[in-house]
Chain A
Amino acid sequence: NAGVTQTPKFQVLKTGQSMTLQCAQDMNHEYMSWYRQDPGMGLRLIHYSVGAGITDQGEVPNGYNVSRSTTEDFPLRLLSAAPSQTSVYFCASSYWGSGNTGELFFGEGSRLTVL
């Protein structure tokens, strides 16, 4: 099992450019989510999904778009990058069973710089 795979690991963008961060998991997890990690802020939820075809907004969704067409993949799209989106992004997944329990599995992170 590869676990949770995130790509790219590093990316530099210019303001206004668009890009997609890829996240794939091979554990058949229903729940997938995207977070950003900024100094002094902790991890903040951007978007999440509890299954294919279902997505919802988290704490900081503005400027980001997601879709969940398959159980395995949950890409995060930056529509028009802004310097405020400079951050480290993490994708995470878990089982979505009764009682909402499940260990979290994280990708290795993607460091994005917007100039």
Chain B
Amino acid sequence: KNEVEQSPQNLTAQEGEFITINCSYSVGISALHWLQQHPGGGIVSLFMLSSGKKKHGRLIATINIQEKHSSLHITASHPRDSAVYICAVRSGGGSNYKLTFGKGTLLTVNP
């Protein structure tokens, strides 16, 4: 079983819809990252959080440490939001630091 599970694997939405992507993990973590990768493109960091909630424009990320769960929300989705969204968790400490990635959620937003 992968230590980081994302759901759904694929998501299709109409422009303007509210989007939620979920990430569950099974290990203790020091931080969680949300990343965005456009098709054929590089990877961009959206958020890094260890507690609570962060907001940047139309994107909101939340994390519940006790439940080992994080969500990425996109309000008023737009076709340019179409991308793969990747959750990654940091665990370990010192030189045993480790990053484990989910397999990603492919989001397609249709106009």
**Residues of A contacting B102 in the complex (Cβ-Cβ under 8 angstroms):** 42
Q: Tell me if A12 is interfacial: C-beta within 8 Å of chain B.
A: no
Is A43 a contact of B101 with CB atoms below 8 Å? yes
Distance of A105 Cα from B48 Cα, bound (Å) = 12
Instruction: Kindly identify which residue among A50, A58, A108 contacts B95, using a CB–CB cutoff of 8 Å.
Output: A50
Please classify the interface of chain B as helix (H, G, I), strand (E, B), loop, or mixed, using the class held by over half of its residues: strand
Number of A residues with CB within 8 Å of any CB on chain B:
27
Smallest Cβ distance from B46 to chain A, in angstroms? 10
Provided the pairs A42-B86, A43-B101 are in contact, do residues A104 and B33 lie with their beta carbons within 8 angstroms? yes
For the complex formed, measure the closest distance between the CB of A86 and the CB atoms of chain B, giving whole angstroms: 16
Contact string against B for A residues 94-115, beta-carbon threshold 8 Å, 1 for contact and 0 otherwise: 0000011111111111000000
Whether B30 lies near A44 (C-beta < 8 A) is no
Within 8 Å by CB of A33, from B86, B99, B104, lies B99
State the CA gap A104–B45 with chains docked (Å).
6
Residues of B with C-beta under 8 A to A27: none
Would you give 18 A-B contacts (Cβ < 8 Å), ordered by A? A43-B88, A45-B99, A50-B95, A56-B95, A58-B98, A90-B42, A100-B31, A100-B90, A101-B30, A101-B31, A103-B45, A104-B35, A104-B48, A104-B88, A105-B45, A106-B43, A107-B42, A109-B43
Q: Which residues of B contact A (CB under 8 A)?
A: 2, 4, 30-31, 33, 35, 41-45, 48, 50, 86, 88, 90, 93, 95, 97-99, 101-104
Additional A-B contacts beyond A42-B103, A109-B43 (14; CB < 8 A): A42-B2, A42-B4, A42-B104, A45-B98, A48-B97, A56-B95, A100-B31, A100-B97, A101-B30, A103-B45, A104-B45, A104-B48, A104-B99, A108-B42
